[in-house]
Amino acid sequence: MSDKLTLSIDAMGGDDAPSMVIDGLKLAIEKDDTLRFILHGDEAQLVALLADKPALKDRCEIRHTDVAIPAEMKAPQAVRQGKKSSMWQAILSVRAKEAEGVVSAGNTGALMALSKMILKTLPGIHRPAIIALLPTESGLVVMLDLGGNTECTARNLVEFAVMGEVYARSIFNIEKPSVALLNIGSEDMKGREEIREAAAVIKDSQLALDFRGFVEGHDIGKGGVDVIVTDGFTGNVALKTVEGTAKLMSFFLKKAFRSTLLSRLGYLFAYGPLKKVKKMMDPRLYNGAMFIGLNGISVKSHGGTDALGFSVAVKQAATLARKNVLTHIRDEITHINGMLQDAPEQE
Amino acid sequence: MSDKLTLSIDAMGGDDAPSMVIDGLKLAIEKDDTLRFILHGDEAQLVALLADKPALKDRCEIRHTDVAIPAEMKAPQAVRQGKKSSMWQAILSVRAKEAEGVVSAGNTGALMALSKMILKTLPGIHRPAIIALLPTESGLVVMLDLGGNTECTARNLVEFAVMGEVYARSIFNIEKPSVALLNIGSEDMKGREEIREAAAVIKDSQLALDFRGFVEGHDIGKGGVDVIVTDGFTGNVALKTVEGTAKLMSFFLKKAFRSTLLSRLGYLFAYGPLKKVKKMMDPRLYNGAMFIGLNGISVKSHGGTDALGFSVAVKQAATLARKNVLTHIRDEITHINGMLQDAPEQE
C-alpha cells in the first residue's frame, strides 16, 4: 500500500467506547497496516484493551485524559468546558499536524463546534458542511449538507457543490463527478430562491463542474448523479427519511416472513438474498460523515455503530487524507473566488 | 351504507385517462354504491367506455368538453386559458354545490392553481397545503405540506397542524390524533426559526391539540404520531425520498433474488411474503392528496396511477366529504383565530 498515515482518534466517543473504538481500529489495520493512531482517552482502559492486540498496540500512541464530552452536552458548553476532553485533544493533534485527520464517534454538535473552532474554516469557504455517502441503484452518491447549516444562501450551496465534487473525485476515483442541486422539481423556475440562484451562479460562472441542474427526493436512491447538494435542514431530513424507510421495509419484510408457516419456510430459502439486501442498506458500510470545509479532516462516526462501522469511518478519513482533499478544495475555491464575487456573502 | 354522495370527476386527467378513470370509478362503486359522479370530459369517449358498465353508467352524468389541460402546461397558463377544460369545469361543479368534491389525476400545478382560484381559501387559512397518507410501522401517518408552499411561516405551520388534526380525525376515525412538527432534532432549540416559533405558538395558545413537539425524518416511517407537519419543500423532498428508498430496496431485493440459482428457488418460497410487502408499500393504496384549506374538497390522484389507485383517491374524497372535514376546519380555525392573532401574518 502507501506510506504511513497517522490519524487522531477520540477513543472515548460513542455508545460503546472505548472498546468499540479499539476493536474498530483493529479491523482498520487488518485492511491497511500503514495506519498509525494517536489515541486520546483513559490510559488505563486503553492499555487494558490493547493488551491482547499487539499489532494494533504497536501502531498506537496513547495520550491520557480522563475527561470525555458527554453525549447529551450542548455544543456551546463543550466549547466552554471541553478543553481537556478526548475530543478536543484529538482535534488539536490535527491542528498540530501530528495527525492527518481525526475520527470521533462522540457528540455530533460538540465535534462540529470544536472542529470549527480549532481547525478553522478554509479560506474562501463561508460555512463547513456535513458530507457523507448514501446507497443508490447505481452505487453510491455523495450528499451534503446533512445537518451542518439549517439555512443556506446561494453562495453556501455553490461552495458545497465545489467541495462535494472534490470529495467525490477522491472517494470514487473518477475524473469528473456530476453534481446536482436537490429541489422539488426539475424545471428552472421550481423551488426556493437560493437554490435557483445557486443553479444560475454555477451555470453562469462557467465553473468546471459537470452540473446536471436539479434532482428530486426520489433521485437520492436512484443514483444518476455523483453529488447531491442541499441545505443542512433538508439534507438531514432526507438522510433520516432514507434510514427510516429502509427500517420500515425491513420491518414489513420480517412481519411478512413470520406471518405463516409457509412464509417461515420461505425465509429459510430467502435467507441468502435477504442478507445481501440488508448488507447493501447497512448503515455501517456508509459510516463516517466528514465536516468538510475546515483546515483539517474531521470525520464523525455514528455514535451507535460497532467496530465494523468505526473501521469504515477510519478508512474514509485515511482515504480523504491520502487524496489531499483539503488541498484540492483550497485550489478550487481560490480558482472560483473571483467568479463568485457577485454572489451574496455572509458571516 | 350512507346517503348518496356526488363527486365531480375530471375524466380527462391522468396518463391513461379517460379509460383508467372510468375503470377506477367502476371499482369505487363496487365498494360504495351510494356514490354518484359528474363526469367532465369528451362525451363520445365516455359514452363508449360506459357502454358495458350499466351500474356505473346509471350513476354518472356526463358534461361534455373537448378541452383538457395538458400534463406539461404551466399553472399560470392553465389559469388564463383553461376555462373550458374538464379540470376547470370539474372544480366549478364543487363551487356550484352540485358535487361535494372533485377528483383529478391531471396536472398537479394546474389543479392546485385552479382549485385555489375557483374554490378560494377557507376563512382564517392563509395558505392551503397538500396533505396525504404515508405507510408506517404502526399504520398510516398524515403528512402536510407535501409541496404546496416552498416557504412557510410559523402561522402557516400552525394552521397546517390544525388542518392535519381534523383530517386525521376524519380519516382514522380517532378522537384526538397526535400532531408533531418535522425538525432535525427533538430539542426545543433545534431547527429553523419558524418551526420553533410554531411549536411555541401551539404550546402557548393552549390549542386543544395533542402536540408532541418535534419528530425527525426517521419518524416518518416509524409512526408514533398521527400527523406530521412541515413546509411544502421539506415535505415534498421527504415524500419523494420515501418513494425513492422503497424503490431502491425493491431493486436490491430483485437483484439479490436473481443472483444465484438457489436464490431464484428462494424467490418461489418467498413470493407470498414479498408480495405482501410490496402491497404494504404500494403507492396506489395511499393514492390521493387533498388540497386542504380551500372552500371545497379537491383531491389529486397520481397521474400515473391505475384504476385501483384512482378508486382509492375517489374513496378518500368521499370520506372527507362525509366527515364534513371542511366544516370542522372552519370551526377550529374560527376557534383559534383569536389565540393566534399575535402570530406573524402573510398574504
Q: What is the pLDDT of residues B131-160, one digit of tens each?
A: 999 999 999 999 999 998 999 999 999 999
**pLDDT at position B339:** 62
Any CB–CB contact under 8 A between A269 and chain B? yes
Instruction: Verify whether the Cβ–Cβ distance A240 to B217 is below 8 Å.
Output: yes
Helix (H, G, I), strand (E, B) or coil at A269: helix
Helix (H, G, I), strand (E, B) or coil at A195: helix
**pLDDT at position A293:** 95
Q: Indicate the pairing of strand A102-104 with strand B60-64.
A: unpaired
Provide the whole-model pTM. 0.91
Task: State yes or no: pLDDT of A187 exceeds 80.
Answer: no
Any CB–CB contact under 8 A between A247 and chain B? yes
Any CB–CB contact under 8 A between A308 and chain B? no
Per mean pLDDT, which range of A102-116, A118-132, B320-334 is the poorest?
B320-334
- The position carrying cell 445481501 is A276
**pLDDT at position A316:** 94
Greater pLDDT, B20 or A339 = B20
- The confidence band for B285, taking pLDDT boundaries of 50, 70 and 90, is confident
- Please tell me the distance from the alpha carbon of residue A94 to that of residue A62, in angstroms, as a whole number: 15
Task: Answer for the pair B144, B329: CB distance below 8 angstroms, yes or no.
Answer: no
**pLDDT at position A340:** 59
Q: pLDDT over 70 for what percent of chain A?
A: 95
**pLDDT at position A333:** 82
* Mean pLDDT of the B289-315 span: 95
- The confidence band for A272, taking pLDDT boundaries of 50, 70 and 90, is confident
Mean pLDDT of chain A: 91
Any CB–CB contact under 8 A between A146 and chain B? no
Rg from Cα positions in chain B = 21
Our CA-based measurement puts residue B153 at a distance from the nearest CA of chain A, in whole angstroms, of 14
Instruction: Verify whether the Cβ–Cβ distance B216 to A237 is below 8 Å.
Output: yes
Helix (H, G, I), strand (E, B) or coil at B228: strand
* Mean pLDDT of the A71-88 span: 94
Q: For A151, which DSSP code? A: S
The residue of A220, A252, A278 whose CB has the most chain B CBs within 10 angstroms, and thus the best one to mutate to test that interface, is A252
**pLDDT at position A274:** 81
Q: What is the pLDDT of residues A14-61, one digit of tens each?
A: 999 999 999 999 999 999 999 999 999 999 999 999 999 999 999 999
**pLDDT at position B337:** 66
Q: pLDDT over 90 for what percent of chain B?
A: 73
Any CB–CB contact under 8 A between B76 and chain A? no
Any CB–CB contact under 8 A between B172 and chain A? no
Q: Which of B247, B252, B265 sits opposite A218 (nearest CB)?
A: B247
**pLDDT at position B346:** 44
**pLDDT at position B341:** 53
Starting at the edge strand found earlier in the chain, the sheet holding B129-136 runs B60-64, B35-41, B5-10, B102-104, B298-300, B289-292, B129-136, B139-144, B227-229, B178-182, B210-215
Instruction: Verify whether the Cβ–Cβ distance B248 to A221 is below 8 Å.
Output: yes
Chain B residues whose beta carbon lies within 8 Å of the beta carbon of residue A240: 184, 216-218
Instruction: Verify whether the Cβ–Cβ distance A184 to B237 is below 8 Å.
Output: yes
- The confidence band for A341, taking pLDDT boundaries of 50, 70 and 90, is low
Chain B residues whose beta carbon lies within 8 Å of the beta carbon of residue A221: 241, 244-245, 247-248
Q: What is the pLDDT of residues B123-136, one digit of tens each?
A: 889 999 999 999 99
Instruction: Verify whether the Cβ–Cβ distance B256 to A234 is below 8 Å.
Output: no
Any CB–CB contact under 8 A between B293 and chain A? no
Task: Answer for the pair A179, A226: CB distance below 8 angstroms, yes or no.
Answer: yes
Task: State yes or no: pLDDT of A345 exceeds 60.
Answer: no
Task: State yes or no: pLDDT of A2 exceeds 70.
Answer: no
Instruction: Verify whether the Cβ–Cβ distance B241 to A243 is below 8 Å.
Output: no
Any CB–CB contact under 8 A between B98 and chain A? no
**pLDDT at position A343:** 46
Our CA-based measurement puts residue A327 at a distance from the nearest CA of chain B, in whole angstroms, of 31
Hey, what amino acid is at A177?
P
- Please tell me the distance from the alpha carbon of residue A289 to that of residue A302, in angstroms, as a whole number: 8
Mean pLDDT of chain B: 91
- Please tell me the distance from the alpha carbon of residue B257 to that of residue B266, in angstroms, as a whole number: 7
Q: What is the pLDDT of residues B41-94, one digit of tens each?
A: 999 999 999 999 999 999 999 999 999 999 999 999 999 999 999 999 999 999
Which is nearest to A279 in space by CA: A250, A256, A304, A317?
Answer: A250
The residue of A181, A184, A263 whose CB has the most chain B CBs within 10 angstroms, and thus the best one to mutate to test that interface, is A184
Q: Indicate the pairing of strand A129-136 with strand B5-10.
A: unpaired
Greater pLDDT, B278 or A187 = B278
Q: Indicate the pairing of strand A5-10 with strand A102-104.
A: parallel
